[in-house]
Amino acid sequence: MKSIKIISIRIALLGLISFTLSNCERTLSEDVEFARFPANPEVFIDGFSGGLNYFPFGGSKLDAFSVDTNTKYSGTASMRFDVPNVGDPAGAFAGAIFPDNVGRDLTGYDALTFWAKASKGATINEIGFGNDFGENKFLVTLNNMSISTGWTKYTIPIPDPSRLGVEKGLFWYAEGPENEAGYSIWIDELKFEKLGTVAQPRPAIFSGNDESVDTFIGTTITIPGLTQTFNLSTGVNQTVSAAPSYFTFKSTDVDVARVSEKGVISIVGTGTAVITASLAGVRAQGSLTIRSLGAFVPAPTPARNAANVISVFSDAYTNIPVDFYNGFFAPFQTTLGGADLNINGDNIIQYTQLNFVATEFKNPTINVSQMTHFHVDIQIPEAINPGDFIAIELGDFGANAAFGGGDDSSGRVTFSSAALASNTWISLDIPLSSFGLASRNNLAQIFFISDATISTLLVDNMYFYK
């Protein structure tokens, strides 16, 4: 597996001096031509184009990039990138940006193109343009680009060229070891082009899905799955991840939900609103229907002494390391969501389409043998019907602290519809003895199970105590 950790570092960029015209008695003539930025399309042909810089990511192999005069597609030189092996002290991955700090006018082009090959067949994690270590306002990423040992031309389309009047981030990449081994990549003839064959735009938000969510005033939601797809002259449908600023977002009711240029939805009132978007005048596939339930009442703040608590999820305590709050067990699990809801600074776990879901903490497991109870606050923002239930299950990995091996144990406590209520926090304090575990020395899992009788569940303050 490839593991990449990219730490953005801030680079002081050259500022642009702006002039404010005020109290002028004259108006500008319509014949005035405003200064434009250089429209140079070249990034690297046989060397850096004028103004280009090289800034590696923090944590990457700093000298991963070099100019190679022996291996090239055309001309006298190419760009060479040496991806490190796993454990290389020089860096965990190879990654950098190549900006022009003055900025360039790329409105006359429709794609970034280049020729590339590698020392072995591989998949480059991320490659594209628009990364300038700043706002990255018009970032474009081609994910998981397959590369072979033969020279191949690649095309990364521009989602909307009209937005790139002053673009500083001309090229960037990030790649980790393949099967724990490093390798080399060569790129040549790197430039922006006006191909005229980049056609049939199909933008999308929420990965093209029509989603819905129940939420509260004060919630913010960042729109995921922003992509633009074009058909290329090769017949390939090329999809890239596109920054929110390429899109124009719309809310059907701004008194319920508003969307910023950065694709952040703010819930401001009670009611229903539908979020949609367009890109360069083309309606984006996908939407979000928001049902705001009004003001949010947080769960009770825990007051137990932290010395007597092992916290898995709570803003009131220091939490243990958690591997995930939603381990997706395909194909049986339908549950979506996780620890991704923040309401006025209060972090909440929100599950939708619940049938079962696991929180897992196996690196390391925890010893709760001295604890007496498990506490959790839950809220069910939907009607409770006869036959509905929520079950809570704990899993211990046994003496070997690993799943399997014949020494695992688990136990479940079920709360029927009579013990549940809608739209209010329910505080559960369950004796650990009720779970009937063979051991509590290597606890690693907490499950919430409804078998789809309850669809939406909010969770907070999940901890063990004595």
CATH number of the domain encompassing residue 47? 2.60.120.430
Summarised one tens digit per residue, pLDDT across range 334-382 is 888 888 888 888 899 999 889 999 999 999 999 999 999 999 999 998 8
- Among 295, 315, 333, residue at a domain's last position: 295
Domain count, the chain: 3
CATH, residue 211: 2.60.40.1080
* pLDDT over threshold 90, residue 284: yes
Are 320 and 435 in a shared domain?
yes
pLDDT score recorded for residue 28: 46
* pLDDT over threshold 50, residue 22: no
% of residues, the chain, pLDDT over 70:
92
Sorting pLDDT into bands at 50, 70 and 90, what band is 35? low
* pLDDT over threshold 90, residue 24: no
Has residue 24 been placed in a domain? Answer: no
pLDDT score recorded for residue 214: 84
* pLDDT over threshold 90, residue 413: yes
Are 221 and 168 in a shared domain?
no
pLDDT score recorded for residue 47: 94
Q: Who's near 419: CB < 8 A, 6+ residues apart?
A: 426
Q: 388 or 353: which carries more pLDDT confidence?
A: 388
Residue 417 three-state SS: helix
* Encoded amino acid at 173, one letter: Y
Rounded Cα distance between 329 and 238, Å, is 30
pLDDT score recorded for residue 401: 87
Rounded Cα distance between 302 and 316, Å, is 6
- Among 193, 217, 237, residue at a domain's last position: 193
Sorting pLDDT into bands at 50, 70 and 90, what band is 410? very high
Rounded Cα distance between 311 and 320, Å, is 6
Are 185 and 280 in a shared domain?
no
pLDDT score recorded for residue 264: 95
The phi, psi pair for 396, rounded to 5°, reads: -115, 140
Backbone dihedral region of 43: left (phi > 0), alpha (psi from -120 to 50 degrees) or beta? alpha
* pLDDT over threshold 80, residue 25: no
Are 180 and 59 in a shared domain?
yes
Residue 406 belongs to what domain range? 306-465
Contact 413, 435 (CB under 8 A): yes
The per-residue pLDDT of the chain, averaged, comes to: 90
Are 252 and 354 in a shared domain?
no
* pLDDT over threshold 70, residue 39: yes
Lowest pLDDT segment from 13-22, 311-320, 427-436? 13-22
Is pTM beyond 0.85 here? no
Has residue 301 been placed in a domain? Answer: no
Lowest pLDDT segment from 3-17, 20-34, 175-189, 340-354? 3-17
Question: Containing H/E element for 173?
Answer: strand 167-175
Are 114 and 245 in a shared domain?
no
Has residue 11 been placed in a domain? Answer: no
Summarised one tens digit per residue, pLDDT across range 254-263 is 999 999 999 9
Summarised one tens digit per residue, pLDDT across range 214-263 is 888 988 889 999 999 999 999 999 999 999 999 999 999 999 999 999 99
Has residue 418 been placed in a domain? Answer: yes
% of residues, the chain, pLDDT over 90:
81
* pLDDT over threshold 60, residue 18: no
Q: 356 or 35: which carries more pLDDT confidence?
A: 356
Which pair of tokens denotes residue 195? 């191909």
Has residue 200 been placed in a domain? Answer: no
* pLDDT over threshold 50, residue 1: no
* pLDDT over threshold 60, residue 31: no
- Among 255, 276, 295, residue at a domain's last position: 295
pLDDT score recorded for residue 54: 95
Are 275 and 333 in a shared domain?
no
Has residue 280 been placed in a domain? Answer: yes
Q: 397 or 405: which carries more pLDDT confidence?
A: 397
pLDDT score recorded for residue 366: 97
Are 119 and 235 in a shared domain?
no
Are 220 and 286 in a shared domain?
yes
Lowest pLDDT segment from 22-31, 58-67, 108-117, 431-440? 22-31
Has residue 242 been placed in a domain? Answer: yes
Are 237 and 163 in a shared domain?
no
Are 387 and 429 in a shared domain?
yes
Rounded Cα distance between 220 and 200, Å, is 33
Has residue 372 been placed in a domain? Answer: yes
Are 180 and 240 in a shared domain?
no
